[in-house]
Amino acid sequence: MRLAFIIAGLALSTGAVSAEIPLYPTGPAQDSAYLRLVNVSASPLLLTPDGAKATLSLAGDKVASDFIAVPGGKTAKGTLSRDGRQVPLAVTVAPGDFATVFALPAAGGGIEQQVVTEPFDLPNQLKASLAFFNADAQCSDAKVNVAGKDLDLFQKAPAGNPRRQELNPRAQLAVQLVCAGANVGAALEIGPLQANKRYSLLLLPSPGGPRLVAVTDSVAN
């Protein structure tokens, strides 16, 4: 029942799966959990699940995958590949919860994984839900202001990573990343926020410094 509520609040899409084959087997006898990848690199990232006939790839402007269903409470295993390097993936997500795996550049090359888990919460179907994920330790005292205002969007959100806030729907929203009390980069236009949909702001490291990326939280078919 609780999964039905949250899936209703997520936009469905085909995602970046190379074939319409489930990456990880799930079934009616168990609750699903949800997993997505974020590629923190200009080079393509490939996930090859153990024993699967499909793969998931992220390349170009596609920074984040959609959420893919994985067996809740069981370890989803596979291999992450980028720039000729491979590392094992092994992530366990509680039933109904959401995990985001940031594939960060490792010192000396390779892939360093940062896993951020978001527990299930029942969405307010009259509100838009916006989360802030911080994967850049170099951005101290990170916050997200409404562009042009000294107004932290997440000041009333629970502490932690991620921080999620319910907002009134709006036709347009622009935000400004702030690190150590100073604006970083240009304001980011994240577009409309619709009721009963979930969105994420991802703070990522880059060669040019911290950057924000806005994505819609979607579940792959």
Whole-prediction pTM: 0.88
Q: Is the pLDDT of residue 69 over 80?
A: yes
Q: Report helix, strand or coil for 78.
A: strand
Q: Is the pLDDT of residue 23 over 50?
A: yes
Q: What local confidence, expressed as pLDDT, does residue 120 receive? A: 82
Q: What local confidence, expressed as pLDDT, does residue 121 receive? A: 82
Q: Is the pLDDT of residue 107 over 50?
A: yes
Q: Is 30 in contact with 72 (CB distance < 8 Å)?
A: yes
Q: Is the pLDDT of residue 221 over 90?
A: no
What percent of the chain is predicted at pLDDT more than 70?
A: 89
Do you know the residue count of the chain?
221
Superfamily the domain 2-220 falls into: Domain of unknown function DUF5300 (2.60.40.2890)
How far does Cα 84 stand from its chain's mean position? Answer: 24
Show the DSSP H helices in the chain as ranges: 2-8
Mean pLDDT for the stretch of residues 19-29: 64
What is the tens place of the pLDDT at every residue in 166-212?
999 999 999 999 999 999 999 999 999 999 999 999 999 999 999 99
Residue type, 93: V
Look up tokens 């079934």; give the residue: 27
85-91 CB contacts, 8 Å cutoff, 24+ apart = 85/109, 85/110, 85/111, 87/111, 87/113, 89/47, 89/113, 91/35, 91/115
Q: Is the pLDDT of residue 5 over 50?
A: no
For the chain, strand residue ranges (E) read 11-13, 32-39, 45-49, 56-58, 68-71, 75-82, 85-92, 98-105, 111-118, 128-134, 143-146, 163-167, 174-179, 182-189, 198-204, 211-216, 218-220
Look up tokens 């996930």; give the residue: 47
Burial class (CB in 10 A: 0-12, 13-18, 19+), 101: buried
Which residues touch 159 (CB under 8 Å, ≥6 apart)?
none
Confidence band of 122 (pLDDT split at 50, 70, 90): confident
Q: What local confidence, expressed as pLDDT, does residue 165 receive? A: 94
What percent of the chain is predicted at pLDDT more than 90?
A: 78
Confidence band of 20 (pLDDT split at 50, 70, 90): very low
What is the tens place of the pLDDT at every residue in 129-147?
999 999 999 999 999 999 9
